[in-house]
Amino acid sequence: MRVESTDLTDVLVLVPEPFRDERGLFTRTFDTEIFDNAVRRPGAGASFLQDSQSRSGAGVIRGLHGRSGRGEAKLVRCANGAVHDVLVDIRRDSPTFGRQQAFLLDDSEFRHLYVPPGFLHGFQALTDTADVCYRIDRPHDPTEDLGVAYDDPGLAIDWPLPVTVVSPRDAKAGSWTQLIQQL
């Protein structure tokens, strides 16, 4: 597994290197030692407390979600299908505050996205079925939920497909300007 840096401070992409033969493939999807070395924090990989999975159809958008307080770290991957994954840095003291970056996560390259605390995260399913797996380092506390509307003009995210479905919660999410005032 190799680790790639991104344009957003502290965000990493972990890229498994599958072994392929006539049977198909085998790949390691997580390695604590490699992860700990990449984030320069011994024991960081063992700190993930929860694994979750979502399934979405083409065009569905989930997000943009974040957490207040200590935030949460996530390791995100698409186990089936493909998604257009978007991060927005909401750490006021970060050199990349307010910047966004998009990533293709799919079931052929197996890329994992390490999202440190202090980011909004959302994605759009690009395939008929997209299963996204999240490894999260804190239990969910709904009182810390943050959100910005997926179509907020202040962020102007370029979603690749027409939007088919968003949750009622995401449809009522606030604006980027409102979130900045909360931080």
How confident is the model over 114-153, as pLDDT tens digits? Answer: 999 999 999 999 999 999 999 999 998 999 999 999 999 9
- Position 77 scores a pLDDT of 97
- Position 84 scores a pLDDT of 98
Which ranges of 70-152 would DSSP assign to H, the alpha helix?
A: none
Structural domain of 76: 2-182
How many structural domains is the chain composed of?
Answer: 1
Which of the four pLDDT bands, split at 50, 70 and 90, describes residue 180?
very high
CA distance 16 to 31: 10
- Is 65 assigned a catalytic role? yes
* Catalytic hit among 84, 112, 121, 134: 134
CATH number at residue 161: 2.60.120.10
pLDDT of residue 82 exceeding 90, the answer is yes
pLDDT: which is higher, 170 or 29: 170
With beta carbons less than 8 A apart as the criterion, state whether 110 and 15 touch: yes
- Is 134 assigned a catalytic role? yes
